[in-house]
Amino acid sequence: MQSVSPILPNHMLSWNEIRHRAIGLSREWRDTTSEKSESQSFWNDFFHVFGIKRHTVASFEEPVKKLSGT
């Protein structure tokens, strides 16, 4: 039985598909001026280029853990 990676998509994208998605991403984001307010959307779109769901590899605004463990 083959294990499925939680990071990699079930099917690998071809280089042509990745290239096509990357070009689309660059065109969609070329005029963006508000980096901070659009950062989560950008990262979601960026990981989509590779067929990866962002929440499997990154998270936003994780709570700080105190050294005391509380």
Please state, in angstroms and rounded to a whole number, the distance separating the CA atoms of residues 53 and 49: 10
What is residue 10's predicted lDDT score, i.e. its pLDDT? 60
Q: What are the Cα distances from residue 59, in Å, to 9, 31, 40, 53?
A: 18, 25, 9, 11
What is residue 34's predicted lDDT score, i.e. its pLDDT? 81
What is residue 67's predicted lDDT score, i.e. its pLDDT? 87
pTM over 0.85: no
What is residue 39's predicted lDDT score, i.e. its pLDDT? 86
Return averaged pLDDT per consecutive 10 residues of the chain, 70 residues in all: 51 91 96 84 92 86 78
What is residue 5's predicted lDDT score, i.e. its pLDDT? 53
